[in-house]
Structure 1
């Protein structure tokens, strides 16, 4: 047969019993969730900054990074809500390479999904315990949601997943904000169609059950740039792009019309050091257009302790082993700049 059954892994319930969330921490998360929700509903004018490593590869360095974010959050709490990225699954265009901590809790060893699930939940729990931050993660595999549904405050659906029906329908059953990225082609109608689907209610098969969802009114768009047929990056964060999205939203009957702008990926042509410049332009567009100010609820930034990226074998603490990231010094400056300009 084409599938080889390696071993049966623990169920979501078993994982939660092995690594439970303390009741007090659940209260912290509920309070932050309410704050974040108000940004999307327009009840709050705070600005979201979804920020962190391209992939959460090591618990110690990721949690040190998030502890630094928490200190900045205390100083900008009147303007910003910082949501740390703990991305535990890494999409790979060709299927090759490191696929995230869920696959390889040790990037230099063979995959171990059982240990990966434990490592994923442990990292999220530690971040929450040490900082009060419930994190964002990419919903690369919809079946993984029940393992962390009590821990996440934000979910993203990537450019290669946004057209997939299972992703759209699974998002419709979540009760936290979920960002649907534009596909790599750049077609904004595809992205908006995914939001329509995610905001609607559905009946479908999920983890061996027939399920019904009520729809997720907090589903929204993420602009991440596009790639043309020649493989060239096409940004979509400029003023004209944002106005176009305002107009396209107006053509659809959607609640909580909102977008997050991803400052890296095709918007920066993966030139990670361009993220501060891009974000400053986005903030300028918000300041000169009320429509854009109401539309753009936040930005997404790839950032870690050390700038750039490295090979897995190099072992530089706090440096990305996937896409290059902004380093801490530039990150801290950028966060204060954002707080001053929103």
Structure 2
């Protein structure tokens, strides 16, 4: 199915005030069309368990979610993934590198919503093609041996690739949403909740508590029918600090306060720092400074710091979504180039190796 919203038949519009509709394939149909092999299914299970082991302190490696702010070009995304797969092997004793494969983008007002929504980058919003392309890309990344991560923004889209993911983010704008907390409670992989845009952790902490409990909620089953979804609760959640309106929140004082609150509520103290967004002042070239500061705190004994997140593409910076596009450059937030990313992670791995030896 490859139709776009612009190709809707007149019958799809009943009146000027009603929404246009176009039926999508069910998640079951897409999973049957692009199945996960037994071998890759076992690989995903092992990657999920590896992430859980880091969260639970059973694995001393650093968890690093790294990759483009968003994927807009399959070719450059797979080239990046190929490079990352080689780097992941080199640092595998010190770090677990997880490919950031973000195919949905939250918007404050309007703008490009991501590969799953508008894969042709032309406003036609061919979501059927977008979901197919997103699943194809994630499968290719798995074949390279990489764990895959994404931000789940639209709960109805989650079921199209939830079986491929080893880690999931719930973003700052949606952490407060009951719908996303219910969704997270039924996911089979670890979930990181980002702090709210105000920089405070209270909303994310509430989300973690909610997601840990069972829920019954409205949803859609694998065949596309409305359903009551019953979840078991997700014990594998953690906090992601991304800063806020008043600046960064990865400093020692902020972490001390947040850990005290987590301890008070008897929530495991496991924190990931997003080195981008407000923590870097939205300057992608400041991400290494944030990363190294957090690494230093971890090396000094703060074991609540289980990982970091980096926005990284083949080449640094960002560009407007207009032709001609530069290859391997982000069309959303600015990214660190792969060369600088490789140097940063290789040096960090060396420091971690020295501490362990």
* Counterpart secondary structure, 1:260: strand
- Cα distance between partner residues in 1 of 2:219 and 2:347: 43
Partner residue, 2:139: 125
Aligned-pair distance for 1:120?
0.9
Structure 2: runs of 5+ lacking an equivalent:
1-14, 221-225, 353-357
Partner residue, 2:240: 222
Partner residue, 2:343: 333
Partner residue, 1:297: 306
1:276 aligns with 2:276: no
Q: Deviations over 1:21-70 (max 9, x none)?
A: 12111122222222111101111111111000010111111111011011
Comparing 172-181 and 199-208, the one that deviates more: 199-208
Aligned-pair distance for 1:109?
4.5
- Cα distance between partner residues in 2 of 1:63 and 1:321: 16
Which one of 263, 266, 279 corresponds to residue 250 of structure 1?
Answer: 263
- Cα distance between partner residues in 2 of 1:79 and 1:136: 19
Rate the CA distance shift 1:21–1:104 in 2: closer, same or farther, 3 A: same
Contact persistence 2:54–2:61 (CA under 8 A) = yes
* Counterpart secondary structure, 1:246: helix
Which one of 154, 167, 170 corresponds to residue 141 of structure 1?
Answer: 154
* Counterpart secondary structure, 1:257: coil
Q: What number of residue pairs does the alignment pair up?
A: 331
Rg (Cα) greater in structure: 2
Partner residue, 2:193: 180
- Cα distance between partner residues in 1 of 2:277 and 2:73: 22
Contact persistence 1:49–1:83 (CA under 8 A) = yes
1:267 aligns with 2:276: no
- Tell me how large the CA RMSD over aligned residues is: 1.2
The aligned runs of 1:1-342 (5 Å cut-off) are 2-94=17-109, 96-129=110-143, 131-207=144-220, 208-228=226-246, 234-254=247-267, 256-288=268-300, 290=301, 292-293=302-303, 295-312=304-321, 313-342=323-352
- Cα distance between partner residues in 1 of 2:18 and 2:337: 41
- Cα distance between partner residues in 1 of 2:182 and 2:173: 16
Q: Deviations over 1:227-273 (max 9, x none)?
A: 14xxxxx100111111111111101122x431110000011111000
* Counterpart secondary structure, 1:226: coil
Contact persistence 1:174–1:216 (CA under 8 A) = yes
* Counterpart secondary structure, 1:225: coil
- Cα distance between partner residues in 1 of 2:74 and 2:52: 28
Structure 1: runs of 5+ lacking an equivalent:
229-233
Comparing 208-217 and 323-332, the one that deviates more: 208-217
Partner residue, 2:6: none
Contact persistence 2:316–2:335 (CA under 8 A) = yes
Q: Deviations over 1:143-170 (max 9, x none)?
A: 2121111101110011100100000111
- Cα distance between partner residues in 2 of 1:224 and 1:73: 24
